Each structure stands twice: as C-alpha cells, then as structure tokens.
Amino acid sequence: MAKVLENRYAIITGASVGLGFEIAKKYLHAGASLMICARNEVLLDKAALALRPLAGTGQSVLALPADISKPGDVTALVERALREFGRLDVLVNNAAVVGPSGTIENIDMEEWFRAIEINLLGAVLLSRAILPHFKNAARGKIIQLSGGGATSPLPGLSAYAASKAAVIRFVETLAEETRPHHIDVNAIAPGALNTRMLDEFLAAGPERIGPAFHERSLRQKKDGGAPLSKGADLAVFLGSPLSDGITGKLISAVWDPWESLPNHLEELNGTDIYTLRRIVPRDRGMAWGDGD
C-alpha cells in the first residue's frame, strides 16, 4: 500500500497521541496531506512538529485545535482544510474519551453526557459538515474508530459502551444514505490497544469498572496489546481506492482478512456480514422463539 493515498487530503481527529497519531504517520507514508486536530493545543503542536518531517514533496500537515463536539469548531476545521487544500477526500473520526467509570446510579451524569457529545455527536457533526463536499465530488471516505463497547457490554463504562455502539449504527445508516453518491462509510475495531485510554481504565480500578474487565486490562498492559500499526494500516486501506465500494461495515483490524475484502465485494454488499445485528434463538440452535 506504498502510496495509495497520494494526492489525497484527509482530516484526522484526535491525532495528537495514540492511534490517531499512528494513523497520521501512516497516512503521510501513503502520500496524503493532513489536517489534524485535537483539543489539547500543546500536544497537537508537538504532534505536528513530529509529523511534518515525514511529509514528502507536495504533502503538507496542518493542525488546528478543535473540540469536535462544538459545531463552531467543526465548521472552522472543515472550512480551513478546504481553504488550504482545495478539496477533501477522507475523514477519520478517531477522537474519543472514556467517560465516567462506575455504575449508572453513581456516576456524574454531566461527564456521561460529555462522553456522548464527543464520541457520538462529534462524529455526527464532522460527517455532516464534510458530506456536501463529498457529494459534490461524487466520492469520499468516512472512517470511524470503534471499540470493544460496540459489540459487548462494558459494566462500569456505560457512556463509552453506549456511544461506541451508537456510532456503529450511525455508520451503517449513513452508508445507506450516501451509497448513491459513491461515498464509503466504515468503522474500524482496532483491537485492545495499550494507549492512554487503557491507563484510564486501570486507574479507575476494579471497584468501578468491575474485576473481570480490570483483570483483562491488566493482562493487556502486561502483554502489550494489539499493535497500533494494525488499526492504522486498516485506516489507510479504507481511505484508499483499494476499498472502493466497501461500505457500512465494522471491520476488525486484528481478526478480519480486510486486505482480501475487495475480492468479495458482491458478497459484502449483499449480506449483513461485519454488521451489528440482533441474535434470535435459532441462531444459537434453539427451537423456541420463532412464533410457533
């Protein structure tokens, strides 16, 4: 995938640290120009300084502090990118927070709402802001970073889990709305990453996130977790022409054979493979529950 993003322009949110920063590096290696954003201006400036030497001839790295849950910041981010680049090809919605930890009756609800604003509404606002430009060009790529909360319960982390599940259904819905415009919308499950978010899980302790999840997090910290590069490589693939026509899917960077998915485009588009769906008794070999 050497230069599969050559002459392409991307916005990457939450790009100052962790997976977002790794995606930014991979996008530069693949030939893209970037607009990166994060809420922390100091960390963002540090990231931009580290990324700019990686840019080749004709590539550039722009950075703008932004809170993606604020419509004004989102508008300014998209307009600045369009003004500097002339067009946009890819949006990577990576920015997210853990939110409060603890049982629902014992947490700060303002923190709970704030997590939903950033993790879900931020993705919606950015997608909404960039869509007119993608539709006008009759192409575009929107890539949403997901997490474990999208596919399984996370007791003690309800805001994180609920927002990640909701954003996957948003991805599936937006993919159908934009299919006639040749815009691909997909989500990435990057695997269990050893990032600042894992440190927040561990700091919360077993009494707030539950002993089972805390123990799993301790093992992950010790074992090293999934490489950041896997999620970043999948983000490059989904932002490139290699993935054209793949849309409305939640794809695991670690477990799914994503590099070969273009060979199965008809099957992907004709089924609910790599989507979130309700399980009924017959899916588990049970003879009851079918209305007999």
Q: Which of 255, 258, 27, 274 is nearest to 171 (CA)?
A: 274
Q: For residues 3 and 282, what is the distance between their CA atoms, to the nearest angstrom? A: 46
Query: DSSP character for 245?
Result: T
**Bridge partners for 251 per DSSP:** 188
Burial class (CB in 10 A: 0-12, 13-18, 19+), 52: middle
125/68 Cα distance (integer angstroms): 7
| Cα–Cα distance for residue pair 137/129, rounded to 1 Å | 14
- Render each residue's pLDDT in the chain as its tens digit; 292 residues: 679 999 999 999 999 999 999 999 999 999 999 999 999 999 999 999 999 999 999 999 999 999 999 999 999 999 999 999 999 999 999 999 989 989 999 999 999 999 999 999 999 999 999 999 999 999 999 999 987 677 888 888 899 999 999 999 999 999 999 999 999 999 999 876 556 666 666 676 776 666 766 676 666 566 656 688 999 999 999 999 999 999 999 999 989 999 999 999 999 999 999 999 888 898 888 988 876 5
User: What pLDDT sits at residue 290?
Assistant: 72
Spell out the domain ranges in the chain.
Answer: 9-191+228-284, 195-225
pLDDT for res 151: 82
pLDDT value of position 2: 78
CATH architecture under which domain 9-191+228-284 falls = 3-Layer(aba) Sandwich (3.40)
* DSSP codes joined into one string, 8-45: -EEEEES-SSHHHHHHHHHHHHTT-EEEEE-S-HHHHH
Positions marked active-site: 160
Q: Can you give the pLDDT at residue 172?
A: 97
Q: How far apart are CA 125 and CA 113, in angstroms?
A: 16
pLDDT of residue 258: 95
- To which residue do tokens 């600045």 refer? 80
The pLDDT value given to residue 195: 60
Q: Is the pTM of this model over 0.85?
A: yes
CA distances from 291 to 9, 141, 171, 286 (A): 52, 42, 32, 13
Instruction: Name every residue whose Cβ is closer than 8 Å to that of residue 161 and which is 6 or more positions away in sequence.
Output: 149, 150, 153, 154
Q: What is the pLDDT of residue 278?
A: 87
